[in-house]
Amino acid sequence: MAVATTRTPPVPPPHSPAPVPESVPEPGTGTDSRSGTGTGTGTGVWRRGRIVAALALPAALVMLAHAHLPNRVGHLGSLVETFLPWTGLAVPLLLLCALVRRSATAAVAVLLPAVTWCSLFGGMLVDKRAGGGDLTVVTHNVNEHNPRPARTARALAASGADVVALEELGGTGIPEYVRTLAHVYPYHSVQGTVGLWSKYPIADARPVDISPWVRAMRATVRTPKGPVAVSVAHLMSVRFTASSGFTTGDRDAAARRLGAALGAETLPRTVLMGDFNGTFEDRALSAVTSRLRSAQAEAGAGFGFTWPASLPVARIDQILVRGVDPRSSWTLPATDSDHLPVAATLKL
């Protein structure tokens, strides 16, 4: 006999509460599950860019402590000092990296080299040229291979200078300079590869011993305001090679001999012009630069780079003074030389 069964419907499981959604952190207050530290915008801009910030410190140290860079190995110190103003390029480069990284830390760190550079060279960007002056001088490395010496001489004569100093004279170019400049400058003296032309009488012209061949001279220019000792010098060229670095031995030795000659000068008013193959900041030239002041630094506008003429990156042509006051200093337009001429007006 069949037994009837009654099916009991299944009992549903107890009701589970719905999951509570996780709270979403407000912008700028989130956490990183790996470190438990904030990663929002407010914190991240200070945590990013640490490498860029770290690079700002050595950039500032090179500018600030360049005088302490070693010079025994490859004359590294002199090399950096020759192009010292260009260390400022590190500032916009680091700032660009800070912007790419969106790093506040890096942006603040870049202030260190920026302020350092401005303290060193900010004054060079100010136009310090003024009117007045009693004597205008020009110096120019004319390049011994100059293809048009007469045209270069005419450009220098048109500058209105009272005294013109020329370096790297040689070969058939010397008669061209003498003949062309004679129309404006009745007095001149050529000693070896350097020469001096003047509207005023020249006396006591003689070579200065700084090298095996004559590359420097000294003369007295008798101006209406009294005598002025005028020296012209062309220090030896420097070389840069991978094996020996920045080679400056001959130049540095010539600078020491020139400094000794300047120390023996008896006239209180002294002007030194020429191609130093080095900048005023180069410590290796301190035998000269410690005795005289730079006309460009005191009365110029900008850095006044002179070499190479096609794209100047360094001021290696100088007008240095003692016992006179520079009123204005500037570079002249390019000639057929690889250097730019340099001019200055001086108050005697």
Summarised one tens digit per residue, pLDDT across range 146-183 is 999 999 999 999 999 999 999 999 988 999 999 999 99
Tokens of 135: 């004597």
Of all residues in the chain, what percent carry a pLDDT higher than 70?
86
Per-residue pLDDT at 3 exceeds 70: no
Of all residues in the chain, what percent carry a pLDDT higher than 90?
77
Omega before residue 326 within 30° of 0, cis:
no
Architecture of domain 135-347: 4-Layer Sandwich (3.60)
N residues, the chain = 348
Per-residue pLDDT at 23 exceeds 70: no
* Predicted local distance difference test score (pLDDT) of residue 95: 94
CA geometry: angle 104, 105, 110, nearest 5 deg: 95
Amino acid of residue 187? Y
Q: Can you give the pTM of this predicted structure?
A: 0.83
Rounded distance between C-alpha atoms, residue 103 and residue 105, angstroms = 5
Q: Tell me if 187 sits within 8 A of 200, measured CB to CB.
A: yes
Own/partner long-range contacts of 305-310 (Cβ < 8 Å, ≥24 apart): 305/331, 305/340, 306/331, 306/339, 306/340, 306/342, 307/338, 307/339, 307/340, 308/338, 308/339, 309/334, 309/335, 309/337, 309/338, 309/339, 309/340, 310/334, 310/338
In the predicted model, what is the mean pLDDT of residues 296-323? Answer: 97
* Domain residue ranges of the chain, discontinuous segments joined by +: 41-121, 135-347
In the predicted model, what is the mean pLDDT of residues 57-73? Answer: 90
Summarised one tens digit per residue, pLDDT across range 266-306 is 999 999 999 999 999 999 999 999 999 999 999 999 999 99
Summarised one tens digit per residue, pLDDT across range 100-156 is 989 999 999 999 999 999 999 999 999 999 999 999 999 999 999 999 999 999 999
Least confident of 8-17, 216-225, 331-340: 8-17
